[in-house]
Structure 1
């Protein structure tokens, strides 16, 4: 398999060296992908649902189809502008000269994508890499075999295999893949695996973009509209059953609002996932391993004496059809050393921690690893600006959740333990490009005279330039 990886990589590089994609080819590639992708959306939703055991078709359309189509359209609309060289001032010291920035494709880009949004997080970086003029080698997660088969058919229908290739396999293939001498390596996944990917890439000095995760807080200010706040937090937390890297990982709220918050969560969850529709909109946990990990977090909280509140009673049909349906739960004021507060949850469990002062809540956030997402809820501007002045996060959404990822004009990326680098839109185009400075000199040139043996002219010129 390692030999196959190298053969495929070399084929991609040789094809790129022989013909670097120009604007016309990039547009044709993106348009062809858009057409084939849109035509295959029913197959996409079916494949993803089979991999999860059950996943809401609406959530697949919103989180996978909408994001991918929007990203392609944005790239097509802006590509000519992004590719155009940018003029810069050379400075009078270099007269006569012209300076510019050119955006040059890197070559062959590697993409390691995760299982939680297997289409979106495979195709969105691929779209940026294609727009920037690169060839792409994709390694999707082994936990989504039906979706991988769908992606393989889609990409083979749209691209020659020496322009875009896909390979499947487990952790051993991912490790070998990370060790290939890519011109850029893009990884989405856990922080622990991200460290291994970065170490493997370092052997070739391959630049990396790491889209990781962590514990993304939702901070509720004392003046927030609690009913609306609960609604938007639940949307962010329960979408895809919490299997979202930017899902609210825990909530901080004033201690005098705790009981109202719990009651609102119970009421609103029951309204969303009622037995009348068979709770068909509630997504399953991807596999047995993740299911056991999440139930282990809930069990650890219970053993420690923390209050665990289920928000949904599953009907018998759901229990019989899919063992990986995990009801959403609140965990009230867990200790910081409990398992649920030590790792990214990535599921429908929501720790709720109370605070006495707003400054105390901010201090709690800023003394921990920098999150991939930060959510702040308030009815006034002062608490928001106070939070924005103190918290460093990969992305921020005010008075809602998740939407910052869907905004094509905003870059997306982590900071510190939640990742490095950006993609989406123009930032994605630049991530997969070399921003190459070019200085064009004309006559006369000072270097014609500024050379050894140095004399009075050099002394005079240096005094003039350094005064």
Structure 2
């Protein structure tokens, strides 16, 4: 059974109709409804429950499943960092970071949430990322390649985050090459925005953005960058750009995340050997990928059939009173019994 988010009600209705048209309900059934339906759905005594969404909702899912001891797989999100080493290919790193933030207007769980770049290269990366986004999205309105935010709540949340950052004096770079009327609340269109070295206490630095906002932090030492990453909850993904293997190994050993890509994005999620999932705040369990995915939804039930030893083991189920039987039992089992 599949419960689709109430935030995508139209897609849910279409999927429900198509599944009912082509599949028997005993094989697959799609359920739609608001938050109350979701709450009832997660409280049912499932053999296995999978949820993908926000971390705070994931906590509620676990609480609902606990009374039934339902095993739960959570694929959540978090603030995925991209750490750029001094020897990284600048053009490659800037392009991949910009494009990863722009997919579905940043509404993908594996998107880069913030980037850390060497302090003496900060302006260069700002220029490169800005140019990449300008080239990819010269316009926003009537652009089939650009996505609106999913609902009014998401639009209001991102607006509030940026307003707070602006009031705090954060340098915000709005990428709007065609000088369109943006943000557009009615169409839920939000331009790409870069937040440069925001105060770590601000929402833009604390919350998963899940929208077209990319924070860029500068660092002087690798220890400083790693320390900033570790102030956040464990992320679903971490991206490293660079060639220095010693520095790469340091990042891998001193940070924790669901998965890591080096000089690439997202590819770790397609692993058929490891599966895909988070750790801690970004989730638990793995369920994607071949044999591992099959095992995630299977219960390895052991079945033992006794053979010739049945006549011996049956007597062990009752108290032993005859001393000779005690001696025989000890020799057979290789143990020593006391007088009791």
Normalization by structure 1: what TM-score?
0.65
1:441 CA drift (Å): 4.3
Does 2:242 align with 1:378? Answer: yes
Q: Report the Cα distance in structure 2 between the residues aligned to 1:448 and 1:319, rounded to whole angstroms.
A: 77
The higher radius of gyration belongs to 2
Over 3 Å counting, the alpha-carbon distance change for 1:461 and 1:160 in structure 2 is closer
2:294 is matched with 429
The total of aligned residue pairs comes to 328
Counterpart position of 1:442: 307
SS in 2 for 1:373: strand
Given the alignment, which residue of 329, 334, 338 partners 1:462?
334
Change (3 A) 1:278 1:180: closer
Structure with greater helix percent: 1
Structure 1 residues 394-413: aligned runs within 5 Å: 394-413=258-277
Maintained 8 Å contact 2:82/2:115: yes
- Quote the Cα distance in structure 1 between the aligned partners of 2:283 and 2:157: 23
Q: Would the aligned equivalents of 1:254 and 1:356 in 2 still touch at CA under 8 Å?
A: yes
TM-score scaled by structure 2? 0.88
8 Å contact from structure 2 (residues 138, 177) kept in 1: no
Q: Which moved more, 1:320-329 or 1:210-219?
A: 320-329
How has the CA–CA distance of structure 1 residues 332 and 427 changed in structure 2, closer, same or farther, with 3 Å as cutoff? Answer: same
Contact map agreement 1:152 1:166 (CA 8 A) in 2? yes
- Give how far 1:303 is off: 0.6
CA contact (8 A) 1:265 1:311 kept: no
Change (3 A) 1:354 1:406: same
Worse overlay, 404-413 or 217-226: 404-413
Taking the TM superposition and a 5 Å limit, the aligned residue runs for 1:272-421 are 272-275=136-139, 279-314=143-178, 316=180, 323-421=187-285
Please, which runs of 5 or more residues in structure 1 have no aligned partner?
A: 1-136
Pair 1:255–1:276, CA change in 2 (3 A)? closer
Is there any run of 5+ residues in structure 2 with no aligned partner, and where?
none
Change (3 A) 1:302 1:151: same
1:185 aligned to 2:37?
no
Given that 2:13 and 2:32 are in contact with CA atoms closer than 8 Å, whether structure 1 keeps it comes out as no
Q: Does the 8 Å CA contact 1:278/1:318 hold for their aligned counterparts?
A: no
Q: Secondary structure at the match of 1:334?
A: coil
CA contact under 8 A between 2:138 and 2:178: conserved in structure 1? no
